[in-house]
Structure 1
Amino acid sequence: MLALRGGSNPISAFVEGKNGLVIAWSNLMFAILVEIWATTLIKVSTDRNSTPLYLLSLLLYNTSLTFFSYSLSVIPVSTAYAIWSALGTAAVSIAGVVWFGEVMNMKKGLCLVAIVFGVVGLNLE
């Protein structure tokens, strides 16, 4: 990750180039989607007691963190992490309700909305 910031790394040169902001945000969104998939898959692997699915989830977490680190070459860590964790939390909570039969009550729903609005508020300039 340190090599990306200002280094002679080809990824660094590409990300910090003309379209760097778009690429960084794309990397962050991809990292979030993969992290949601990994977290959901860990639940499935636990329910099925499946080592291959568990190992796939670890690979997905690694992929997510890799793309998250690429996004940090342009996006401030406080912004990127807040968005990554809030969207991941909200999406995994929704996945739990939709696919695993978890209960979504008013308190849980309002707290998730508060998390998302809190992250948006933190990023307003």
Structure 2
Amino acid sequence: MGWLFLALAIVLELSGTVSMKLSDSFTRLVPSVLMFAFYGASFTFLNFALGYMKVSTVYAVWSGVGIVLISLAGSILFQEKLSVPSILWIGVIVLGVIGLNLSGKGG
């Protein structure tokens, strides 16, 4: 159940970050309101996930997967360019999250 809550938290955090970009510095009402709603829901599900999982696992996966997804979203939705070094460093983050979980300290 913890992984389901964590997945929901990640999707909602991604939605909140996309909404933040679309809010255009709070000049657009609907994306601005959605940003707060998505972030609030994301933190709620993150809190539920913490009831089942260790904080190190939850936060590492939430932030690591979030970085990967928002980088992809920025590239696809907002035509932001990802340089080769950026992609490589994102890969290092992913490896770190995997390593944390495999080490037994994270989960």
Q: TM-score, normalised by structure 2?
A: 0.91
Q: 1:92 aligns with which of 47, 52, 70?
A: 70
- State percent identity of aligned pairs: 35
- Give the ranges of 4+ consecutive aligned residues of structure 1 lying more than 3 Å apart after TM superposition: none
Secondary structure at the aligned position of 1:89 is classed as helix
Q: 2:57 aligns with which of 73, 79, 97?
A: 79
Considering only aligned residues, what root-mean-square deviation do their CA atoms show, in Å?
1.3
Q: Which residue of 1 aligns with 2:38?
A: 60
Q: TM-score, normalised by structure 1?
A: 0.79
Q: Which residue of 2 aligns with 1:115?
A: 93
Q: What is the CA distance between 1:52 and its match in structure 2?
A: 2.3
Q: How far apart in 2 are the matches of 1:33 and 1:73? A: 19
Q: How far apart in 1 are the matches of 2:78 and 2:27? A: 16
* Paired letter, 1:63: A
Q: What is the CA distance between 1:104 and its match in structure 2?
A: 0.9
Structure number, greater radius of gyration: 1
Provide structure 2 residue ranges, at least 5 long, that are not aligned to the other structure. Answer: none
Q: 2:5 aligns with which of 27, 49, 59?
A: 27
User: How many residues are aligned here?
Assistant: 103
